[in-house]
Structure 1
Amino acid sequence: MGTAIGRRLALAFAGALAGTGFWLLEDYYASDLLTARQAMLIAATMTAFFHSFLAMVGPLTMARSALGAVAVTAPAVALLNLMSLRHGDQVTAFSGVGAFLILILLPLPFWVAAARGRMMDYAVLFQEAWAIVLRLMSGWLFVAVVWGVIVLSSALLGMVGIDVLDRLMDTAVGPWLISGVALGLGIAVMAEAGERVSLGPVLMLLRLLIPVVLVVLGVFLVALPVQGVSETFGTLSAAMTLLAVCAIATTLITTALDCAGDAPVPRRGMRWATQALAVLLPIPAGLAGWSLWLRIADYGWTPQRVLGVTVTALALSYGVAYAGAVLRGPGWAGRIRRANVALALVTIGLAALWMTPVLNAERISANSQAARVIAGADLSERQFTRWGLAGERALADLRARGMGPPARADLAAADAPVTVADLSALMPVRPPGAAAARDRILGAVDDEQRRLWHRACLRDRRTDGRVGCLMIVANFLPDLGGDQAVILSGWQSTMVEGMVLKDGVVERLPVEGSGIYSTAPGALAAYLEGEMALTPRRQNEMRAGDFVLRLSR
C-alpha cells in the first residue's frame, strides 16, 4: 500500500511539474521572453518527455521510465527542430506533427520490452503497446472527469455564494496544475492496477468490427467496377479515406491475432473473416496510390501529396505482408505478427526520414510546382511562400526567369487604407453589368472588410495576372430585395461570403451549395470563366457547371 501511495504522489507531482512548466512557458512567451522557435521546442520537449515518462511507469520503475523518456525525447525534438528550419525564422504549421508523435509513442513498447531483455518479443510488444494506449487514454479521460466535477461543483457552490473554485480557475496556473495532477494521478492508478486491468474486453469489442469492415470493403470493391469512379476519386480526400480504411483494417487484424505465437484466430468464422480482410488489404492501398497519382499527374506535388504517397507506401507494405502471409498457408498468423514488428520499426524509420532533408516534402513540392509554372501552369505566390525556404528559392528562380507570380509588394500595400475605387478596379464582378451593385456593396462595408477582400484578391493572384476573388451579384432571394451578392476568394480552396445591401445597411447571409469550401480547385474558375445560370427553386441558385451557390436566411 505504501508503495502504491508513494507512486501516486510521485506521478501527481510529475504532472504538477508538467502543468507548471506549461504555465511558465505560456507566461514567458506572452511576455516576449522566448522566441516562437524556443517556445515550440520547449513545448515539444515537455510534451514528449512527460507523456513518455508517464506511459512507461508501471511496467518499469520511475528511474528507468525517466531514462527511456529522455532517450525517446532527445532525438524526436532534435529532428523536429531540424525540420522546422525548412521555414527559416518562421515557426509555422508544418507536416511534422504526425511524424513527431510517431517518434515519441511508437518506440515506447520497444523500450519497455528491451528493459525486460525481450525487445523483439511480439507478445511483450503487443501487451505493452495496448497497455500504454489504455494508460494514456485513461489518464486523459480522468482529466476530463475531474474538470467536469470541478465545473459542476463550482456551479453548485455558486448557488450559496461560495466562489473559491471560480477564483482557482481564474488564476493563470490553476487550470494547468489541476490538469497535470489529474493526469499523473489517473495514470498512477492505472499503473497500480497492472495485471488486474485486462485488455481482453477491449480487444474482443474491436474484433466484432472485423466482419463489418469486411462487408463494407467487399461491397465497395464489387460496386467499384459497376458504378465506376466519380470525379472526386482522384482527390486527396478520396486517397485519405482509403488509407484510413487500411489503417482500421490493419488494427483490427492485429487485434484478432492477439499475441499467441504462431497460433491463428481460434474461432473459425472470425478466422476466415480475418484472413479475407488481410487478403483484400492491398486493394484499398493500391487504389489510394492510384488516386494520388491521378492528382499528382494533373497538379504536381504538394507536401500533402508527398505525405499521402509516403503513407500509401507504408499501407501497401502492410497489405502485401498480410496478404502474402495468408496466401502462403499454415503459419500465417505468426508471419503477420513478425511482419508487424518489422513494419513498426520501418514506420519509426520513415517518420525520422520525413523530418530530415532526405525526404523534404517542401523542396519536392516547390521544384514540382516551379516546373509546372515553366510549362505554362498558372499558380499563385501564396503556394510557394507556404513551403518555406525551398518555396522562396523556387519563387526567386522563377522571377529570375521572368516567369514568377507578382511580388508580395502588392500585399504590403494592401495593409494601407483601401478605397472603393481601389477594390472596384481589382475585384471582377459577374455578370459584368452588375458593377454598380458591386460598388454600392463595397462602399457600404467598413474599411477592414475592404482590406480583407483586397488582400484575398492579391494573395492568390495567378501568374497570368488574374486575381483570386470574384463578386457574383444576383437576385438569389426575390422576396428579400436589395443588392444581393456572393463573394468568392481562393483558386484552390474557395471561400465564400454572402451579403445583402438593403436600405443602406449590409447584412451577412449564409451561403449554401456544392463545390464550395472545397480543396478541389475549380469553383472560382467556374464562376469567373464559365457559363452561369440563375436557377429558380424555393429560392434562386446560381449554377456554373457542377457548382451551385444560393443564399439563405
Structure 2
Amino acid sequence: MLDAAKQPFSERHALIFRAVIGVLFGLVLAYLQTYTDAHRPEYPIDPAKITQTYIWHQIAFLTVALSAFIYWAGAAAMRRGTLAIWGLISMALIAVIAWTQYQQNPTPYFSPFWGTATFLLYPLLFISHELISSADQARKAIAPYSLYFDEAWKRGVQLCLCILFTLLLWGILWLGASLLGFIGFDWFKKLLEQEYFSFPITGLALGVSVHLSDVQTKLLANVRALILGVLSWLLPVIVLVGLIFTVSLCFSGLEPLWKTKAATATLLGACLGLVLLINAAYQQGDEERPVNVALKIAARIGCGLILIFSVLAAYALSLRIGQYGLTPARIMALTGVIVALLYGIGYAVAAVMPGRWLRLIEPLNIAFAIAKCVIFICVLTPIATPARLSVGDQVARLQSGKVAPDQFDWNLLRFETGIYGTRALDILEASGTTDTIRKKATEAKTMKERYQLTPPSTSVKPSAGQFKIIAPADGVMPETFMAQDFNLEGYDTPQCMKTASKLCQVSLIDLNRDNVPEIVILDDNALRIYIHGVGKWQQQTADFTLTDAQKAAFLKGEARATEPQWDDLMVDDKRLSIDTPQ
C-alpha cells in the first residue's frame, strides 16, 4: 500500500480515477446546488434570512468544483500520496479564501466565484499546482525549467481543449433534446435540466477529456507548438506598438494618459501581454531550436518596455492612492503593479546580460512563480486582505484630518469592507478624534441602503493662486467663478484646476458682446471657455485645440474676440452655424 502511494496512477487507473472523481464530485455539486436553490430567499433579499449554512454551501460548491481540476490534472503525473495531500491542502486553501472573501463583503448576493479578489484564486491554483506537480515528478524541491515549461503550457492547452470538448458535448446533447422535442418527446430535455444528471455528466466529460488529452501526447505537443508559434510572431507587433506609444509619450507628456482614468489597468494589461509573448518566443531558449533574429531583438526590446510600463503604472497608481487613499480595488491594482515591477526589473536585467540570449529568464520565471503564489495567498487571506488594509488606511486619513468627515467615503466602511469596516465604525463611534467623526460614524451604522449616505464630494472651489491672468493685465477672476464648486473627477475640468502644482493661464475676453468677459483657460494645448449661464459658470462644449505656435501666441496675450465671417442662419427657432470655407 505504501509502495503504491509512492507511484503515479497507471494509464488505466488514471482513467478510472478521473471518471470516478468527475461523477462523485458532480453528485456532490448537484446536492449543493439544489440546496442553495431551495434556500435562496426571494428578491429583494433580506440579509437576515441568509444563514451561515447557506453561505458555507456556496463555499463548498466552489471548493469541490475547483479541487476537481487538481485531482484530474495530477492523476497520471503526481505520486498518489502527494496528490492526496496536495488535494486536501488545496481544498482547505480554497475554502479559507472563499470565506475570507465573504468576510470582506458579507452581502446577500455573495458569490465565491466572482468576489473582488477571487479571480486571483484561479492563477494561484494553476501556478501552485504546476510548481508542486513538477517538483514531485522531478523528486526535488526545484524542478528543471524544461519540466516547468512543458507542464505549464501542456496544462494550459489541455484546460482549453477540455472546456471546448465539454461545451461541444453539451451542444450535441441539447441538439438531441431539441430534435426529440420536435416529435413530442420532452423527457430528454427534462433529464438534462436535472442537477443530478447534468453535474455528474459534466464532471465525467471533463475527467475523460483530461485523460484523452493526456494520453495523446503527440497531438497535444503539436497543438502547443502551433499556439506558441502564432503567439511568438505577435511579439514584434506588440513591441512595435509599445515603442510607438513610448516615443509618443515623450512629445505628449503624461497628462493625456492620466485623463483616460484607466492608465494603470491599461499599462498592466500591456505588461501581461508582453510577458506572455516573450515567453512564447523564448520557450526553452535558443539551444534546443534556432530562434529568428527578429524575435530575439523584439524580445530584448519587449523586456525594456515591461520595465517602462510597470514604472508608469506604479506612478499612476501612486498618484491615485496619494489623493484618495487605499481601497480594495486599488490594493488589487497594487498587487498587479508589484508583480509587473518584478518582471520589469528582472527581464530588463536579462535583456542586457551578456552570453546566451535571455538565459536569466529561466530562473527568474521559477522565482516569480513562487513569489506570485506568496503574494496571492497573502492578498486572498486575512494576512493582507484588501478590505483590512483599506480600512486601516482610510481611517488613518480621517483621524489625522487629511480627509474631512464630510468628504470621507463612509459607504466604503459600511458596505464595501465587511467586518473590517463594521469594526472600524464601532471604534470611530466610540473614540473618533472629533465630535463630527463620531456623529458621522453613528449615522453610517444606521444606513440600510448602500448609497443612502451621500457619496464623498469630489468637488472643490478654486483658489486665487491657481490662476495667472494673461490679458487684460489688470484682470481679476470673477468672484462668482471663485465661489463655485468644480468637479475634480470631471474629464473636462482643466488639469491645472485639479493639480495644485500647476498654474492656469487665463485670458478674460468678452465673446458675446454683453460687456461681461468670458473666462478662457489654457489646458495643455486646448482652450476651455467658461460662460456665465443661469446662476453658474458653464464650460462651452466646443473643443479648441491649439498648435504650438497658437499656444505661444495665447501666452503672449494675443487672444482676442472677433466677429464671425459668416452669420448664423435661423430657420424657425433653429440656429444653423455655417462653417467658414477654407
TM superposition score normalised by structure 2: 0.67
Determine which of 137, 148, 169 is the counterpart of 1:125.
148
Q: Is 1:191 equivalent to 2:210 in the alignment?
A: no
What do the CA deviations read for 1:478-497 (whole angstroms, capped 9, x no partner)?
Answer: xxxxxxxxxxxxx999xxxx
Aligned pairs for 1:275-424 within 5 A: 275-373=300-398, 374-377=401-404, 378-385=407-414, 386-399=416-429, 400=432, 401=434, 402-403=436-437, 404=440, 407-408=443-444, 411-412=447-448
Task: Note the C-alpha offset of 1:44.
Answer: 3.1
Is the contact made by 1:234 and 1:292 (CA closer than 8 Å) also made in structure 2? no
Q: Taking structure 1 as reference, are residues 31 and 456 closer, same or farther at Cα in structure 2, changes over 3 Å only? A: closer
Counterpart for residue 254 of structure 1: 279
Task: Note the C-alpha offset of 1:186.
Answer: 1.3
Q: Taking structure 1 as reference, are residues 258 and 181 closer, same or farther at Cα in structure 2, changes over 3 Å only? A: same
**Amino acid across the alignment from 2:128:** P
Q: Taking structure 1 as reference, are residues 79 and 251 closer, same or farther at Cα in structure 2, changes over 3 Å only? A: same
- CA separation in 2, counterparts of 1:179 and 1:34? 28
Per mean C-alpha deviation after superposition, the further-off stretch among 211-220 and 233-242 is: 233-242
Task: Note the C-alpha offset of 1:317.
Answer: 0.8
- CA separation in 2, counterparts of 1:41 and 1:528? 55
Q: Taking structure 1 as reference, are residues 70 and 411 closer, same or farther at Cα in structure 2, changes over 3 Å only? A: closer
**Amino acid across the alignment from 1:382:** N
Task: Note the C-alpha offset of 1:30.
Answer: 3.7
Determine which of 172, 176, 185 is the counterpart of 1:162.
185
Task: Note the C-alpha offset of 1:39.
Answer: 1.9
Q: Is 1:20 equivalent to 2:22 in the alignment?
A: no
Counterpart for residue 273 of structure 1: 298
Aligned pairs for 1:129-140 within 5 A: 129-140=152-163
- CA separation in 2, counterparts of 1:225 and 1:406? 50
Determine which of 136, 140, 145 is the counterpart of 2:168.
145
Task: Note the C-alpha offset of 1:236.
Answer: 6.2
Is the contact made by 1:243 and 1:312 (CA closer than 8 Å) also made in structure 2? yes
**Amino acid across the alignment from 1:172:** E
Unaligned runs of at least 5 residues, structure 2: 1-9, 40-50, 459-487, 491-533, 543-572, 574-582
Task: Note the C-alpha offset of 1:262.
Answer: 6.3
Task: Note the C-alpha offset of 1:257.
Answer: 1.3
SS at match of 2:174: helix
Counterpart for residue 120 of structure 2: 99
RMSD: 3.6
SS at match of 1:334: coil
Q: Taking structure 1 as reference, are residues 390 and 27 closer, same or farther at Cα in structure 2, changes over 3 Å only? A: same
Task: Note the C-alpha offset of 1:26.
Answer: 1.6
Q: Taking structure 1 as reference, are residues 145 and 5 closer, same or farther at Cα in structure 2, changes over 3 Å only? A: farther
Task: Note the C-alpha offset of 1:277.
Answer: 0.8
Is the contact made by 2:235 and 2:277 (CA closer than 8 Å) also made in structure 1? yes
Task: Note the C-alpha offset of 1:533.
Answer: 7.9
SS at match of 2:262: helix
Task: Note the C-alpha offset of 1:137.
Answer: 1.5
> Between the two proteins, what is the percent identity of the paired residues?
22
Q: Which has the larger radius of gyration?
A: 2
Task: Note the C-alpha offset of 1:144.
Answer: 0.8
Is the contact made by 2:101 and 2:116 (CA closer than 8 Å) also made in structure 1? no
Counterpart for residue 229 of structure 1: 254
Number of residues of Structure 1 aligned to a counterpart in Structure 2: 438
- CA separation in 1, counterparts of 2:71 and 2:268? 31
- CA separation in 1, counterparts of 2:319 and 2:116? 22
Unaligned runs of at least 5 residues, structure 1: 413-454, 465-490, 494-526, 541-553
What do the CA deviations read for 1:176-201 (whole angstroms, capped 9, x no partner)?
Answer: 22322221121121112134421211
- CA separation in 2, counterparts of 1:327 and 1:111? 31
Per mean C-alpha deviation after superposition, the further-off stretch among 366-375 and 205-214 is: 366-375
TM superposition score normalised by structure 1: 0.70
Counterpart for residue 436 of structure 1: none
Counterpart for residue 475 of structure 1: none
SS at match of 1:59: coil
What do the CA deviations read for 1:247-300 (whole angstroms, capped 9, x no partner)?
Answer: 111111112111248668621111111111112210011111111111112211
Task: Note the C-alpha offset of 1:230.
Answer: 4.1
Counterpart for residue 553 of structure 2: none
Counterpart for residue 479 of structure 1: none
What do the CA deviations read for 1:35-77 (whole angstroms, capped 9, x no partner)?
Answer: 2441243123213320111122343466654443234333443
Counterpart for residue 48 of structure 2: none
Is the contact made by 2:117 and 2:380 (CA closer than 8 Å) also made in structure 1? yes
Determine which of 37, 43, 46 is the counterpart of 2:64.
46
Q: Taking structure 1 as reference, are residues 461 and 109 closer, same or farther at Cα in structure 2, changes over 3 Å only? A: closer
- CA separation in 2, counterparts of 1:411 and 1:365? 20
- CA separation in 1, counterparts of 2:320 and 2:423? 24
Q: Is 1:74 equivalent to 2:92 in the alignment?
A: yes
- CA separation in 2, counterparts of 1:317 and 1:219? 24
SS at match of 1:173: helix
SS at match of 1:222: helix
Task: Note the C-alpha offset of 1:141.
Answer: 1.0
